[in-house]
Structure 1
Amino acid sequence: MESKFQQLEFRELMSIPVRNGIYKSKEFHGRGCKIVNMGELFSYSRLNTSIEMKRVELSEKECATSLLNTGDLIFARRSLTAEGAGKCSLIVNADDLTTFESSIIRVRLNQKIANPAYYYYLFNSNYGKWLLSTILRQTAVSGITGSDLNKLIVPNPPRTIQDSISKLLSSLDDKIAINQKINCDLEQMSQTLFKSWFVDFDPVIDNALDAGNSIPEALQSRAELRQKVRNSADFKPLPADIRALFPAEFEETELGWVPKGWITTSFNDLIELIGGGTPKTSVEEYWNGDIPWFSVVDAPNESDVYVLTTEKNITTEGLNNSSAKLLRKGTTIISARGTVGKCAMVAVPMAMNQSCYGVIGKNNISDEYVYFQLKNTVQTLQQMGHGSVFNTITRDTFKNIKVPFCDEELTKSYSLLVKNYFSKILNNNYQNIALTNLRDTLLPKLISGELSLEDLPDLIKQTEAA
């Protein structure tokens, strides 16, 4: 990609020389300032140091030379994959004292002539990734060096143009981040309500307290917490018709104390499991169709709930000539092998590979109930394995998980209450896809100078108003 802008060696834009991160032995870990590891670099393209991180103790000299400032660029110095080497992130906020580990290179630009956000977007464009590939060194692992990074020839438009481009692209990323935060809050609210009803049995405790019934000793601490919530000024009781769906007493079962009248059953008895499949990769007619085909790489962020698009698509012919099945909207997919326990709800009809199960409720048990009960089951499996990663999920796994169950009507009442939350999450996901596509379309054209901001007056106005 040719750039219409002035070209300079990258080192000419830096205020101080590039620096590799620090290595500290184990006795210095667990206290001191935060440290950005490769996990944070790859998880957060625009990194705010207020997030939780590991900590490491630094000397005064190390503090003077190896801390991160707002506006610093950090690059992955090495990676197990060629695609990971050179990964660039921007420190958007460094309020907390934070350093960076030895596999990371820090670049601090002279902000009189270089806007860090502009160069962050440059190195995350296809052109920037190509530039980084020209200095990639292949040894035992893929990597780049600070000295090679210095010599890269990069475009250097006037600072005012850098600022305008960065403002436009950052506004799109900001809107994406806001939608993701809203999704996180909505998913958490839905999950909290599920736990309140189906795990902690708060409405049963409410009914028991109002009826003057005794609370089992094992549930006393929960009842005390619940009473504090009920006494708070902003407490809003459930509507009477929903509370009437819950009993006012508990009974002891093999699972402990559960609402009186609820059954203790295998989770497998509540759901229908659907297997997946892979069309023959050697048959071209089976692939690149219009049916999304899910594998674990397509799993969304937990808070985004829904999977809308997939890396690979299959054709109707591929579906009909394999064990893959078309899943209806609302089906929950859980990864059963490899990366185990990832859950996603299907937003559009799609198929999936054989490393996953599709899960729907029997007898009209609601989709949202199944989704959260499945996530709760994953947590149970992890606890049974003492927090370790379990290797596979089979049909027997679901048979061995026991859950207390109410009835279909209560699951529908739950879904009616969270339906608007899920709808908003889905709408935000679609909006983020549109915003991401717009950003990725504009990015290379703006970076190269092929497209000027004067060509985008309406979008600029929207950005300034945001």
Structure 2
Amino acid sequence: MESLPSEWTPIKLGSIVNITNGFAFKSENFLTSLTFNTLPVLKIKNVANGDVHLKDVQYHLIDSKYDKYTSSKGDILITLTGNHPQALTQVVGAVSKQKFDTLAYINQRVAKIDPISSLAFKDFIYYFLKEKSTHDYLASQSSGSANQANISKADIENVELLLPPVTEQIAIASVLSSLDDKIDLLHHQNKTLESMAETLFRQWFIEEAQADWEITTLDCHITVAKGLSYKGSGLTTSDNGIPLFSLNSVLEGGGYKSAGLKYYNGDFKERHIINPGDIIVANTEQGHEYRLIGYPAIIPTIKSELSIYTHHLFKISINDDSYLTNAFLYYLLCSKDMHEQVVAATNGSTVNQLSADGLQRPEFKLPPECMVKEFTTQIDFFWKKISINNSQIKNIESLRDTLLPKLMSGEVRVQYAEEAIASVA
């Protein structure tokens, strides 16, 4: 390791960037779909989880008086309101970069950060703000409750950093960007594979379903078990507990989300154990938007030999006398018709709930066993490739997260980082 570079200058962030707070657009002026002369409005939920996205976005008519509140590709956005870091999602001070080409408006409690000095390189500032110690500092400055923490423009401006010469800023950002580009490419490959699998299921079993296929119900093929009603006092760290898959382990619309993994050191029974490859289904959802309830995820392979799941999830086991497979069942539960039937069986006012009986009641056309087997063979190929990609993503993310603080502090210089990157190329 080299000594800390003497040519790096200690400064406050506010001396080299301009911070623009978003505008308080009125909710009655929001539009639910893109029409002529409108732009999407980026809210906290579109920025807070590490990437700027347009999922469930709303739109607003374009007006020149809002020009200063626009965001474009490459812009740095930060959440001024959110949860404390323990919550894992929608955390205050979360920083994301806009990667899509569309212009957008930024809503209140989202801010845009622009370099205003020739001494600052935009992507270097982005990675500085992504670094854990920077985020921890901003979170420590927040005020408000655990799920309504707030930071101000001044809090961001007062963050101190060591600023390298611009040429070195560019080199550092280039190293880190190359890793993010590899990660983005692998994610894109996975989305393509997932889309191919969904298309295959839809073509074979919905669009080309035969009239003479037997109509059956899920309860003829599956057994449903509910997870552990755990005590909050049993939640702990990964060093002291076993993995606990939670409601947050299921993506809206189906799929696995790693952010939902908790750790538990309390009591549980053998029936609460879950294994890689098992299907879980969300049985609870706040509100009645039906984005989560009834949707499945596949338990991934993780390092722990033992894992459990919470009471907000069902585990689905295929009966011995059924030739259905987890691959077929997963895409069946993701399908529009099946989800509509499941949703019809839910109930609850504030919190919507799905019973085991409600999950087992829906009907579907049962394809021949040979088709299910052939479909499963093809899906297994897709899933294995996705699993390999996910392993690569984890390795690259680990390398990036290791290099980031060391590059930002000058502890590791660019040439050493490039050697490390070559090992995962």
TM-score, scaled relative to structure 2: 0.81
Q: Any idea what SS the aligned residue of 1:96 has?
A: coil
Residue number in structure 2 paired with 1:254:
none
The question of whether the paired residues in 1 share the 8 Å contact of 2:253 and 2:334 is answered with: no
Residue number in structure 1 paired with 2:277:
330
Instruction: Give the C-alpha shift of residue 404 in structure 1.
Output: 1.6
Residue number in structure 2 paired with 1:277:
228
Instruction: Give the C-alpha shift of residue 116 in structure 1.
Output: 1.9
Residues 121-160 of structure 1, C-alpha deviation per residue, up to 9 Å, x if partnerless?
2222221112313432337932122233223222211112
Residues 368-392 of structure 1, C-alpha deviation per residue, up to 9 Å, x if partnerless?
0011112223344347889x99812
Identity %: 20
Q: How does 1:329-348 map to 2 (within 5 A)?
A: 329-338=276-285, 340-348=293-301
Residue number in structure 2 paired with 1:398:
359
Residue number in structure 2 paired with 1:239:
none
Instruction: Give the C-alpha shift of residue 352 in structure 1.
Output: 1.2
Of the three residues 361, 376, 384, the one matched with 1:423 is 384
Residue number in structure 2 paired with 1:230:
none
Structure 1 residue runs without a partner (length 5+) = 205-258
Task: Indicate whether 1:141 and 2:148 are aligned.
Answer: yes
Q: Distance in 1 between matches of 2:53 and 2:354?
A: 36
Residue number in structure 2 paired with 1:23:
24
Change (3 A) 1:399 1:74: closer
Q: Distance in 2 between matches of 1:13 and 1:67?
A: 20
The question of whether the paired residues in 1 share the 8 Å contact of 2:283 and 2:355 is answered with: yes
Q: How does 1:225-304 map to 2 (within 5 A)?
A: 259-260=211-212, 262-277=213-228, 291-299=242-250
Q: How does 1:155-166 map to 2 (within 5 A)?
A: 155-166=162-173
Instruction: Please identify the structure whose Cα radius of gyration is greater.
Output: 1
Residue number in structure 2 paired with 1:112:
118
Task: Indicate whether 1:102 and 2:136 are aligned.
Answer: no
The aligned amino acid for 1:365 is L
The question of whether the paired residues in 2 share the 8 Å contact of 1:9 and 1:151 is answered with: yes
Residue number in structure 2 paired with 1:459:
420
Q: Distance in 2 between matches of 1:279 and 1:32?
A: 46
Instruction: Give the C-alpha shift of residue 285 in structure 1.
Output: 12
Change (3 A) 1:275 1:437: same
Change (3 A) 1:314 1:32: closer
Change (3 A) 1:164 1:285: closer
Task: Indicate whether 1:13 and 2:16 are aligned.
Answer: yes
The aligned amino acid for 2:262 is K
The question of whether the paired residues in 2 share the 8 Å contact of 1:293 and 1:351 is answered with: yes
Q: Distance in 1 between matches of 2:21 and 2:63?
A: 16
Q: Distance in 1 between matches of 2:167 and 2:139?
A: 28
Change (3 A) 1:374 1:33: closer
Structure 2 residue runs without a partner (length 5+) = 32-36, 286-291
Residue number in structure 2 paired with 1:412:
373
Residue number in structure 2 paired with 1:237:
none
Of the three residues 61, 70, 90, the one matched with 1:67 is 70
Residues 171-211 of structure 1, C-alpha deviation per residue, up to 9 Å, x if partnerless?
22221111111111111111111112222225x4xxxxxxx
Q: Distance in 2 between matches of 1:384 and 1:275?
A: 17
Change (3 A) 1:87 1:282: closer
The question of whether the paired residues in 1 share the 8 Å contact of 2:243 and 2:263 is answered with: yes
Q: Distance in 1 between matches of 2:48 and 2:294?
A: 21
The question of whether the paired residues in 2 share the 8 Å contact of 1:6 and 1:157 is answered with: yes
Change (3 A) 1:309 1:423: farther
Change (3 A) 1:285 1:76: closer
The question of whether the paired residues in 1 share the 8 Å contact of 2:248 and 2:257 is answered with: no
Change (3 A) 1:101 1:405: same
Residues 291-325 of structure 1, C-alpha deviation per residue, up to 9 Å, x if partnerless?
5321122336868x45779733467xx67x52543
User: What CA RMSD, in Å, does the superposition of the two structures yield over aligned residues?
Assistant: 3.5
The question of whether the paired residues in 1 share the 8 Å contact of 2:84 and 2:139 is answered with: no
Change (3 A) 1:415 1:33: same
Residues 229-254 of structure 1, C-alpha deviation per residue, up to 9 Å, x if partnerless?
xxxxxxxxxxxxxxxxxxxxxxxxxx
Instruction: Give the C-alpha shift of residue 165 in structure 1.
Output: 1.7
Q: Any idea what SS the aligned residue of 2:204 has?
A: helix
Q: How does 1:378-397 map to 2 (within 5 A)?
A: 378-382=339-343, 391-397=352-358
Change (3 A) 1:422 1:117: same
Task: Indicate whether 1:358 and 2:319 are aligned.
Answer: no
Change (3 A) 1:135 1:193: same
Of the three residues 70, 73, 78, the one matched with 2:81 is 78
Task: Indicate whether 1:47 and 2:52 are aligned.
Answer: yes
Q: Distance in 1 between matches of 2:44 and 2:379?
A: 36
**Residues 372-381 or 180-189, more deviating:** 372-381
The question of whether the paired residues in 2 share the 8 Å contact of 1:13 and 1:109 is answered with: yes
Residue number in structure 2 paired with 1:125:
131
* Paired positions, count: 396
Q: Any idea what SS the aligned residue of 2:342 has?
A: helix
Residue number in structure 2 paired with 1:57:
61
TM-score, scaled relative to structure 1: 0.74
Q: Distance in 2 between matches of 1:379 and 1:3?
A: 60
Residues 243-294 of structure 1, C-alpha deviation per residue, up to 9 Å, x if partnerless?
xxxxxxxxxxxxxxxx21x222221111122332256676799985785321
Structure with the higher fraction of residues in helix conformation? 1
Residue number in structure 2 paired with 1:371:
330
